[in-house]
Each structure stands twice: as structure tokens, then as C-alpha cells.
Structure 1
Amino acid sequence: MNDAKTMGSLAEKLMSYVSTTPQQDANYDIALAMLTHYGKLKNLSLAEIADLCYVSKASISRFCRFMGFDGFRELHDCLLQDFSIGTDYSRTFYDKLCADPQAALQDYSEEVIRNIRVTTAPENTERLAEMAVALANSGRIAFFSHHFLWDIGRHLQSKMIRMDRYVELYLDYTQQLACARSLQKNDLAIVCTVGGSYPMRYPTIWNGLIAAGCPILVITQNTSSSYWNYARFVLGCGVSNRNDVGKYGALMAVDLLTLQYLRQYGKEYL
């Protein structure tokens, strides 16, 4: 199976760049123009996108390489494989949301609460103390996920850096692969994959983690996957990802790790 270089939508990548770059240069202007007209990009040619961004075709080609693509064709292929809002929400849920929004929101909240309860159940949290020790004693900590769970990793980064532990987090496929291959046996890899598909979608990165020989901590709802035979720890994050509620369980799992680390090692930081 070949790895897909796209770890999320092009929109996610563009928004991350626009939101974090300190330089509002030509690349920033192109990215912002693409986001402003995002819905029509997949139907436009290189020349048409260049006109839309008020730059030359060569500038768009350079921008594509700047964003990590081989060229315009690869960026355009990414657009054609993009994720619609229907990826997150079912038509049934949408119809109910329109017909009876209160009932739809009640169903939604119950799924969220169910995920949090399952995540915080004693049978799921019994190895948290060992996980905190691994966080404390590892040389490096690296967080691996799809772009859609980047915010979960960013939350962990924000919490842990205030307790003097830096968690590496990379959006791009190439950077994640390089990180996986550079890890050592005394490092820790955290793989956050609600549905458990990360090893199947990115086998080269997963195999890189296995070859590195470092402990792997997996956050997932698919806790029985045979892939986790290579993981030292598996932390469940609920049981449902219907209508995108799985992210709340994943966030709760990361909070559990943070709170356990605070309990064991954080007194001096309070």
C-alpha cells in the first residue's frame, strides 16, 4: 500500500499556514486568496488560479512547492480528494438538525458525554501512572495524527510545555515521516487516531515508528486493533465518532494524560 501524502484537506494546510506565519509576503497573499475562493479552486486551471491570486503561473507553481507539493498537479489532486462537511455529519443528522434542532443537539450531546464517560472509566485509566512515567522519562515526545486531530496535539503541546516538556507536532507527511525515522529507543511516540486507521493510511510512518523501537502510546476508539501489538500503551477515547463526536473523547484522553502528569510531576509548576 502506498502512503498518501495528504494528511488532511488542503484547506487545513492553508489555514494553518495563514494563521501561524509571521510574514505576510507573496506566499501569504496567495494562500489567503485561495482560502477566500476555496470552493471554486478545484474547477480552475493553473492559469485561472494565477489570475484569481493576481500572480503569474510561475508564482503559483513556486507556491505549490513551498507548501510541500511536487507541483500544481499534486496540489490540484489534493483539491479533488478534498473532504466535504458531509464527511463529518450524516444526512440523517442534518435532516434532524433542520426538523428538530433541540432533539438533534440532545442526541449529539449524549454521544459526547458517552465518549467522555468511557474514556474516564477506571478500566481505561488504570495505566495512566505508567504513561506519565513514560512522558517524564522519554528523551523526546512526538505526536502523530491526521490534520483533523492537530488541535488535540496542539492542546497537549500547550499543557506540557508549561511543565517543561516539549511535544513535537508536525502537520506534513514528510515531516512526520522524518520525525518517526529519527526517534530513538528512549523517546516516546503518541499516535492519535480515533478510528484506528493511521497505520493503514500511513504505513511507512507507522513502520518507521516500529523500526525506531521507541515506546508507542496510542489514543483510539479502536482499542482491539492488531496494529497495537507494537504499542506499549493504548488509551481509549470513547466508542462513537458519529457526526464527529470522537474528537471530544480524544481531547479527554489527552487531558487525562496531562492531569496525571500534573499529579505526579507538576507540583513545582503550580
Structure 2
Amino acid sequence: MGLLIIRLIIFLNGQASETTNHHIALTMLNHYYDIHNLSIGEMAKLCDVSKSTISKFARTLGFDDYLDLKDNASFIENRFNNPLNYISNIITSMEKEGYDQYFDAILKDVSYFKENIDISTIDRIAKAIHKYKKVVALGTIFSESAAQDFQLKLAYSGKFITTFQNDLTQDEFLRNATEEALIIVFTNSGNYLTKQQIRTGTPKKNSFSQTKAKVIVLSSNPEVLNFPFVSEAVIFPHQTNYQTHAIMFQIITDMIIARYRYLRNIACDC
């Protein structure tokens, strides 16, 4: 999924429908596959605004100008030829093989996790969440959805944490985070920790290696345990080629919250 389409969707979700910027974002999404061919004047006419308004909107999204926005507009499904891409790995497999193998993969991953989970790791993460006043959950695309879900689940238990959908806001937070912050990272592959996954060419990311915050990771990749900036990790190795992390994130966060509630209740009784 391209950088522009992600930023447009995130931006659109946070705007009132009657604003000019909402109209521009919605128009761009509705004509997404034409953007790379449209001049700034043509885009302005399409949106019924001035060229300067389009330029300002591009900068609002975090691009240098409209040309930079256009450069990030091409959407090529699985552009990096990643066999674990959502469409290739799950949807195309369902279309070819039906649903049974996907259900079997979920059951295998859940069963393996149930048999091999280190409960003490869940305990330590719950204690860290209880201890730290500033807790931030982070991920990108589908993993960011898990971070938002975790935020809402914890709110039900009286713990209010933060998450950021915008990639620029995430990077800014990581650069400025202090030792007083706890970061819970959702990343199936682990690549989110070291790569700018949604940017063209997936350039190297060094914001995690430079952050001063405590970093805890939920991932299927055991290699994240070798990163010096990772303090703790819950690992859920996939037992098939299906990437079932959307399900596994739900299970793991439920376990963490259950343990957090126990610790919170003990503290309240003291």
C-alpha cells in the first residue's frame, strides 16, 4: 500500500466532512488512479479549489509539494513482491483454495501459542504498562489497527494510552521519547523496527535505535529479540505460510489486559 493512500485515509478519518481539506482528500481518493497523470492545475480544477490550496494541502500531508505527492501516488499491488502481502498471502489464497486452510492455519497458530507461551513475559509486560504513566502503542497499516484496538481495550480497564496513525507523527514521537515512556510495538515481520515500510524503496529506519523509551514488541519474528533497543518481546511463530497476526494480536493483547487488570486490582486493595 502506497504512502499517499495511507496518509489520505488517515487524514480523511480525522477531518469534519464539511471542511475543504476533507473534500480534497475525498476527491483524491475517488480519483486515486489518475493522480499520477494530473497536473496541479488539473487537480485544482477537479477539487474546485486554487492551485495554492492544493500545494498547501500537499504540505499538510507531509509532502514537499504537489510533485512529491504525485511521486507517491502510484499504487501497485504488492509492489515489493512480498509473498506475505495481505492480498497475496490471504485473499488470493482463499480465492484459490477456499476457507478451510485459512481456518486450519489460525487453529495451528493459536494452539502452538497456547502450548508455548511464556506467561512470565505477559506478566512483565502487564507490570510495565501498570508502572509507566506514558504508554504508546505503535504499528503501521494493519498492525496500527491492532495498536488502536489495544488502546480501546485498555481504556475499558481505566488505562489510557496513546497511538499515532500518521507515520511522520510516529517518527517524531520516537525521536523525542524519554526514559519515562513505554512503547508497545505491533509488527508481524519485525520490519517496522528497522525499515520505513510504506515509503518508496523501504529506506532504513533508525528512530527506534535512537529512542530512549522502553520498547516492547509483539511479533512473529524471533529475530527482534536480538535488537539491542528491544527490552521485551512476545513471539508467536507462524506454523503455516498464512500470516495470522491479526488474530494473534487480539489474543495476546487480551492476555496482557487480563493480567493488567489483576495487577491494578491488587494495587487498589493496598
Match of 1:21 in 2: 15
| Cα distance in 1, alignment partners of residues 28 and 45 from structure 2 | 11
* Shift in alpha-carbon separation, 1:92–1:222, aligned structure 2, 3 A: closer
1:176 alignment partner, one of 154, 162, 170: 170
1:133-167 Cα distance to aligned partner (Å, 9 max, x none)? 10000131112222332211111111112323222
Match of 1:84 in 2: 77
Q: CA deviation at 1:49?
A: 2.1
Q: CA deviation at 1:227?
A: 4.3
* Shift in alpha-carbon separation, 1:8–1:250, aligned structure 2, 3 A: farther
User: What are the residue-to-residue correspondences of 1:121-200 with 2, within 5 Å?
Assistant: 121-200=115-194
| Cα distance in 1, alignment partners of residues 104 and 189 from structure 2 | 19
| Cα distance in 1, alignment partners of residues 151 and 94 from structure 2 | 34
Matched, 1:11 2:5: yes
User: Which one has more relative contact order, counting CA pairs under 8 Å at least 6 apart?
Assistant: 1
| Cα distance in 2, alignment partners of residues 61 and 250 from structure 1 | 39
Match of 1:75 in 2: 69
* Shift in alpha-carbon separation, 1:188–1:98, aligned structure 2, 3 A: closer
Q: CA deviation at 1:91?
A: 8.3
SS at match of 1:90: helix
Question: Contact conserved, 1:219 with 1:236, CA < 8 A, in 2?
Answer: yes
Larger % of helix: which?
A: 1
Question: Contact conserved, 1:145 with 1:191, CA < 8 A, in 2?
Answer: yes
Question: Contact conserved, 1:9 with 1:83, CA < 8 A, in 2?
Answer: no
Please provide the CA RMSD for this pair: 2.8
Gaps of 5+ in 2: 80-84, 197-204
Match of 1:228 in 2: 227
Q: CA deviation at 1:193?
A: 1.1
| Cα distance in 2, alignment partners of residues 162 and 91 from structure 1 | 33
* Shift in alpha-carbon separation, 1:266–1:152, aligned structure 2, 3 A: farther
Query: How high is the TM-score relative to the length of structure 1?
Result: 0.81
| Cα distance in 2, alignment partners of residues 23 and 91 from structure 1 | 35
| Cα distance in 2, alignment partners of residues 179 and 90 from structure 1 | 32
Q: CA deviation at 1:201?
A: 0.5
Question: Contact conserved, 1:93 with 1:243, CA < 8 A, in 2?
Answer: no
| Cα distance in 1, alignment partners of residues 91 and 157 from structure 2 | 41
Question: Contact conserved, 2:209 with 2:229, CA < 8 A, in 1?
Answer: no
Match of 2:258 in 1: 259
1:200-232 Cα distance to aligned partner (Å, 9 max, x none)? 2142321232xx1x3211111111346434322
Same amino acid, percent of matched pairs: 20
Match of 1:3 in 2: none
| Cα distance in 1, alignment partners of residues 110 and 133 from structure 2 | 30
The number of aligned residues is 254
Gaps of 5+ in 1: 1-6
Question: Contact conserved, 1:237 with 1:250, CA < 8 A, in 2?
Answer: no
